[in-house]
A and B are shown apart, each in its own frame.
Chain A
Amino acid sequence: DQQVKQNSPSLSVQEGRISILNCDYTNSMFDYFLWYKKYPAEGPTFLISISSIKDKNEDGRFTVFLNKSAKHLSLHIVPSQPGDSAVYFCAAEETSGSRLTFGEGTQLTVNP
């Protein structure tokens, strides 16, 4: 069963507008959530994270929102830039554990 799901395989936005990437999870034991970004022919790189004790974490143009009751998190990128075009993976884990569970990824394309 897929415990972390990203239902949108792709998203296209205009430069300067907001990008919103969504992620849902089913395991109520997950209490730490991360977003990774991946360019072609490179490994994923960490972008931003959030603990379950928070509902929002912001880092520059990137903000992650967590809705625990809905088991949903989202990544907002404002303003979007062409260099943000990449695959974005949502990931989750139990802090008592040692392994991440990843979603399927969303391909973001930011058009100039």
Chain B
Amino acid sequence: NAGVTQTPKFQVLKTGQSMTLQCAQDMNHNSMYWYRQDPGMGLRLIYYSASEGTTDKGEVPNGYNVSRLNKREFSLRLESAAPSQTSVYFCAGRTGTTDTQYFGPGTRLTVL
């Protein structure tokens, strides 16, 4: 089992460029999540998908969109990147509502 995988690992964008961060899991997770981690601010939830076919906003959704392509895949899109979106992005999945969330290794994004 690969667990939760994320691509790419690193990315540098210019202001205004767009990109999609990919996340896939092979752990049969029902719920999937996108977080960003910034110094001194912990992990903040951007969007989540409680089940296949549903998505909901988290704490900091502005500037992002998501797609739950199927049960395995949950992508995060930045339509017009801004320097404030420079961060480390983590995808996570969980099977049941109180089960452990399993995290991917992260994508380090820099927006110039």
Contacts and interface: CB of A to CB of B under 8 A. Distances in A.
Interface of A: 4, 6, 9, 32, 34, 36, 41-46, 49, 89, 91, 93, 95-105
B104 A43 contact: yes
Given A43-B4, A89-B43, A98 B97 contact: yes
Contacts of B101: 46, 100
Nearest to B41: A104
A77 B5 CA distance: 30
B44 A99 contact: no
Contacts of B48: 98-99
A98 B103 contact: no
Interface of B: 4, 31, 33, 35, 40-45, 48, 50, 58-59, 90, 92, 97-98, 100-106
B58 A99 contact: yes
8 contacts: A6-B42, A43-B92, A46-B101, A89-B42, A91-B43, A96-B97, A102-B42, A105-B42
Contacts of B43: 44, 89, 91, 102
A45 B103 contact: yes
Nearest to A94: B97
Contact of A43 (B40, B44, B105): B105
The 6 closest A-B pairs by CB, nearest first: A43-B103, A102-B43, A104-B42, A46-B100, A102-B42, A98-B50
A98 B43 CA distance: 16
A82 B23 CA distance: 32
A102 B101 CA distance: 12
B90 A44 contact: yes
A95 B105 CA distance: 26
